[in-house]
Amino acid sequence: MATDNLHRVDGRYRIDYRPDQIKTGRRDSVLLPARLTPFIDRYLGEIRPALLRGTDHGALWVGTLGKPLAEPGIEKLVRVRSKALLGVAIGPHRFRQALGTTAPLVNRTEPGLARAVLDISEAVAAGHYNRANAIIATEFFHAEMLAATQAANNHARLEKIRRRRE
């Protein structure tokens, strides 16, 4: 992504993608949350210039050697940082999968939410991202097992009480 993709609008940043930058081949824009503005301001004003060391190639993300940080470098950084923070290395695509699964679990009345946010078809969402149905099925199974176990325990207790009375 280049710096010309990033625009500040009313105290927030917007990323505008050209068709050649998107898998679907369509233009897209993403308005970033206002809470990210101070961090982007600092990156653009202090960190990025320091990394560039007096040069500017137009890439938004810059590596420690001053060269553009491409997709493999970004993926490596995400994996290293997630490993340090969570104890497990997580690639960027796993965040998409997490969103695809979490969105329908958190908001069950909006099953198409993840599809819309990820800008993918319903078939792709169901086939590759949404694991919510498996989680819901597991929750249902566990609830049924708990109920059956409680019923069996209650039955056993009643039998024990009944035998004592006889």
Distance CA 97, CA 105 (A): 13
pLDDT band, very low/low/confident/very high, at 26 (cuts 50, 70, 90): confident
pLDDT band, very low/low/confident/very high, at 132 (cuts 50, 70, 90): low
Question: pLDDT for 137-156, tens place per residue?
Answer: 566 556 677 777 787 777 77
Distance CA 89, CA 101 (A): 19
- With contact defined as beta carbons under 8 Å apart, do 21 and 5 qualify? yes
